Amino acid sequence: MKSQDIEKNNKELSNKMDTQDSKQYITYLYHSSICQYCSKVTSMLKNNDNVEIIKFKENNKIEDFGKFTKPIVVLLKNINKENSLERSIFYEELKRKGKKVQVPALEVNNIILFESDEIIIFYKKLLQKVSNDDKSSLQNRGNIKNDQKKK
């Protein structure tokens, strides 16, 4: 994938997320447990109060998980089976959807984004959006309380 394609995908994805007014964002992260660039992305997401990371297994369906509790959901799809080099079904899925196999790869709204740094930039923007949404909803709650006091 050319750098202009990566940039185009990142802009398209960012624009979609900016216009989307959602309380929850479900993302898929194709990864390999033996990939240092994948670890770079997951390390950035771990221990964040707004992110729920779930290992998505070959036979899972999103409905299997019930309701998610955090605003950003990251479903990890390992292209290898467990910690081996044997390929999982997610390897072929990524190859079909992304036209190549390169991890980490982020899938959101049927757009695939490659390159760990670009994925981190995307998640940082999304985290910023979520924290801004939280602040504005807290502010609105405060305004509602203030309005009720005035009555």
pTM score above 0.85: no
Which burial class, exposed, middle or buried, applies to 33 when counting CB atoms under 10 A from its CB (0-12, 13-18, 19+)? Answer: middle
- Decide if 29 contacts 77 (C-beta within 8 A): yes
Q: How many residues are recorded in the chain?
A: 151
- Decide if 73 contacts 24 (C-beta within 8 A): yes
The whole-number pLDDT of residue 131 equals 87
Which one has a higher pLDDT value, 147 or 21? 21
Per DSSP (E only), the strands in the chain are 25-31, 51-56, 72-78, 105-108, 111-114
- Which DSSP symbol is given to 76? E
The whole-number pLDDT of residue 8 equals 63
- For the cut 60, the answer to whether the pLDDT of residue 109 exceeds it is yes
Q: How many domains does one find in the chain?
A: 1
Nearest Cα to 56, choosing from 64, 46, 44, 66?
Answer: 64
Mean per-residue pLDDT over the chain, rounded: 83
* Cα pseudo-dihedral 134, 135, 139, 142, rounded to 10: 70
Q: How confident is the model at residue 3 (pLDDT cuts 50, 70, 90)?
A: very low
The whole-number pLDDT of residue 39 equals 96
CATH of the domain at 138: 3.40.30.10
> Where in the sequence is the domain holding 38, given as residue range(s)?
3-150
Per-residue pLDDT tens digits for 25-51:
999 999 998 899 999 999 999 989 999
Which one has a higher pLDDT value, 74 or 5? 74
